[in-house]
Amino acid sequence: MVYIRSKRVKGIEYAYLVKSEWKADERTSKQQIIKYLGRSSNVELENIPMQYRQDPKILSFLSEYNPRDLNKKKILIEDFSKKLYLSLASGDVDSATRIYERSGNVLSLEEFYDKILKPVMYDIGMKWEKSEIDVATEHVCTNTAYALTAAINERISKTDNREKILLCSPEGELHGLSASVIESVLESRGYRVFNAAPSIPTDSIITFIRNTEPD
């Protein structure tokens, strides 16, 4: 568990990012300071290590001590989302990739996918259902999104001897973007990913598992 602890010194509150771990053998929890954050009122999301930024306890602290920071993040997400839609609709992979890179100043990779790409793709699907965009535009958006995830994966540093994970989807499932997103996240966490999606026969998957022995 990770949280921000505030300590008052001479009337001023200072914040520390703390990790608490339960020690079963000692039947007690131990706290470790991960990072000194400075004055509580000055703590911003950018001060928090990327892997902890969506923790509910962290967000609760920020909403109490620095609500302006969360509002700024919301505005940036809205701006990035509008720009990403335009990039996808025009088939501009380079522009979409630059948006991802700029978002990295305030968002983790998971946040980019969850708060920007996913809602944009849902919106594209709704626009298609309402005939606000044609099929060709919808396909361009989807194919550009695939290319974006591939471009992101190219930027992820990889090491040898990584644990192997196989991604697949049922036969007949023709949508594979979600698998590409999961592949990207897993690659960023150090796994070697075999992405066999979409729509692949069960016997083929079984053969592949036998040959590659994923973990």
- Domain annotation for the chain: domains and CATH numbers: 2-65 (no CATH), 66-155 (1.10.1240.10), 158-215 (3.40.50.280)
Q: What is the largest CA-CA distance in the chain?
A: 69
Of 44-58, 86-100, 124-138, the range with the lowest mean pLDDT is: 44-58
- pLDDT at 10 (0 to 100): 78
- pLDDT at 57 (0 to 100): 86
Q: What is the pLDDT of residues 142-157, one digit of tens each?
A: 999 999 999 999 988 7
Which helix (H) or strand (E) segment holds residue 135: the answer is helix 135-154
Q: Please, what is the average pLDDT of the chain? A: 89
- Start-to-end CA distance of the chain, whole Å, equals 27
Distance CA 61, CA 87 (A): 35
Alpha helices (runs of H) in 5-117, residue ranges in sequence order: 56-65, 67-89, 93-103, 109-111
Q: What is the pLDDT of residues 1-25, one digit of tens each?
A: 898 998 888 778 899 999 988 877 7
Rounded to an integer, the average pLDDT of 181-189 is 91
- Grade residue 93 by pLDDT with cuts at 50, 70 and 90: very high
Any idea which residue has 């992979």 for tokens?
93
193 strand-pairing partners: 165
Task: Confirm whether pTM is higher than 0.75.
Answer: no
For residues 35 and 49, is the Cβ–Cβ distance under 8 A?
yes
The answer to whether residue 98 scores a pLDDT higher than 90 is yes
